[in-house]
Chain A
Amino acid sequence: MKSYSLYKKDWQSELRTRYAINALSMFILVTISVIMFSIGSEKISEYLTGGLLWVVIFFSAMSGLSRAFVSEEERGTTLTLQLIASPSTIFSGKLLFNIVLVFLMNIAITILFSILFESFVINNLQLFLIAFLFGNFGIAISSTIIAAIISKASSKGTLYPVLSFPILLPLILTLLELTKYSMDGKPIEKSFVEIAVLISYDVIMLTASYLLFDFIWKD
């Protein structure tokens, strides 16, 4: 409940300042436009479209998700949060905010991809939805803990993608594989290994994040 209150505070604040929402929407529009201009009238393969989807998702996440903690640090309100809530409440609230933001952002990107790219055809929707669901959780969890780490650093902007890349790489690679399978129409039973990797990644990242956050949060 306390985490939910923090999440509500963050949303209300976001709706008034529109920092993350504006940054994300602009990034998505610009990136997809650039891809479309560079492709022109050429027909690209299904697999390439699937790969491009996750590239856009990864970089969009890099442009907006760090705000959860960086904005608190920049406005000087980190101390205020430390005085009103325990570290676990703060992490849960921020994670909830990033989960909702990631889902909204990725649903918008996927809809745009399916409208704008002819070759983006999913033959096993169920498998794609499973990958999408656990993939989004993974991106949100990793981005939240990395945002907490970099908010204490002086060069926040450059550090975020640099630190995120090795942490998100196993997740993105698994998601690419599962997207390829869902485009091929491969049944879920034959994708159990990748799904298990995806779920394990989420569980490991979530546990590690809760254990680490106390140390990151306290100077």
Chain B
Amino acid sequence: MTNYSIEVQNLVKFFGRRLIFNDINYSFNSSTVYGISGPNGSGKSTFVKILSCIISPTKGKVVHKADNKIIEEEKLHNHIGFVSPYLFLYDEFTAEENLIHFSKIRGKIFEQEYSNFLLNEFNLLERKNDQIKGYSSGMKQRLKFVFALLHNPEVLIFDEPTSNLDNNGKEKVYEFINKLKKEKLIIIASNEDTDLSYCEKILELEKYKNK
């Protein structure tokens, strides 16, 4: 098992003149489930995007390490699995076509068996050959978990993971969090109490607003 860590150093983010958070210093390590909490507009999504190096902070830095070796930003995408309501897959492709394209673009071999296993776990196997423009929002949300898990990343970042999901879908997500928490670094950004109840440590963003 890889010992993965994310170190956040003096992180500051402004949007224009509006301060989102100020001076966050935090360390995330493998085998732990972390929660990012805060009310709407507190910067949870911005924070997880900065953690994934999708957007840049105004000040400070984020360092990803695998077994104490720093991972280059160019290669970071293969270490992160990301689920979020503002993540969209390609509507004109079927679920399986999407997954095949993503694997190939990542430079990885598409593992049909593992893909079928994940699709089955999230109740999508029978619909895998349907274009996802015909999927409901809940099905699309479940497919995002397959997308996040397919390349077997060391870090899983879930931004509002249970949005659009019914009770069965939520149970399945929690089941996966419990199953994977021993070997992966899981970060959940949410304001749902149930989502946060699975977290061992919680970073409250509101505390960094006026620091």
User: Which A residues are closer than 8 A to B by beta carbons?
Assistant: 1-2, 5-6, 8-9, 12-13, 16-17, 75-77, 79-80, 82-89, 93, 218-219
Q: Do A75 and B77 contact each other (CB < 8 Å), given the known contacts A84-B105, A84-B106?
A: no
In the complex, chain B residues whose CB is within 8 Å of the CB of A88: 74
* Total contacting residues, chain B, CB less than 8 A: 27
**CB contact between A77 and one of B75, B88, B97 (< 8 Å): that residue:** B88
24 inter-chain pairs at a CB distance below 8 angstroms, sorted by A residue, are A5-B101, A6-B105, A8-B101, A8-B104, A9-B90, A12-B93, A13-B90, A75-B91, A76-B87, A77-B89, A79-B54, A79-B87, A80-B88, A80-B102, A82-B54, A83-B54, A83-B82, A83-B87, A84-B77, A84-B106, A85-B105, A88-B74, A218-B53, A219-B55
What mask results when residues 72 to 86 of chain B are scored 1 for a CB within 8 Å of chain A, else 0? Answer: 001101001010101
Given contacts A1-B107, A5-B101, 10 further A-B contacts (CB under 8 A): A5-B105, A12-B101, A75-B91, A76-B86, A83-B82, A86-B75, A86-B77, A88-B74, A218-B55, A219-B54
Q: Decide if A9 touches B56 in the complex (CB within 8 Å).
A: no
Docked pose: A86 CA to B53 CA in angstroms? 11
> B162 on the interface (CB 8 Å rule)?
no
A79 and B88 form a contact (CB under 8 A): yes
- Judged by a CB distance under 8 angstroms, whether B52 is at the interface is yes
Most chain A CB inside 10 Å of its own CB: which residue of B89, B97, B105, B107: B105
Is B192 an interface residue when CB atoms closer than 8 A count as contact? no
Q: Name A's interface SS.
A: helix
CB of B92 within 8 A of CB of A9, answer no
Instruction: Choose one: A1, A79, A93; the contact of B86 (CB below 8 Å).
Output: A79
Are B55 and A5 in contact, with the CB atoms below 8 A?
A: no
Which B residues contact A (CB, under 8 angstroms)? 52-56, 74-75, 77, 80, 82, 84, 86-93, 97, 101-102, 104-107, 147
Cα A89 to Cα B52 with chains together (Å) = 18
* Distance (whole angstroms) from the CB of B190 to the closest CB of chain A: 18
Q: How far is the CB of A76 from chain B (nearest CB, A)?
A: 4
Is the Cβ of A83 less than 8 Å from the Cβ of B77? yes
A86 and B88 within 8 A (CB): no
Contact of B102 among A12, A79, A84 (CB under 8 A): A84
Least CB separation from B157: chain A residue: A83
| Distance in angstroms between the alpha carbons of A219 and B54 in the assembled complex | 7
User: A13 and B92 in contact (CB under 8 A), knowing A218-B54, A219-B54?
Assistant: yes
Contact B56 A218 (CB under 8 A): yes
B77 & A85 in contact (Cβ 8 Å cutoff): yes
Contact B88 A75 (CB under 8 A): yes
B47 to A: closest C-beta gap in Å: 14
- How far is A86 from B79 in the complex, measured between Cα atoms in Å? 12
Selected from A2, A13, A76, the residue in CB contact (under 8 A) with B105 is A2
- A50 CA / B115 CA spacing, docked (Å): 54
A83 to B74, CA, bound (A): 11
Interface centre among A75, A83, A87, A93, by most B CB within 10 Å?
Answer: A83
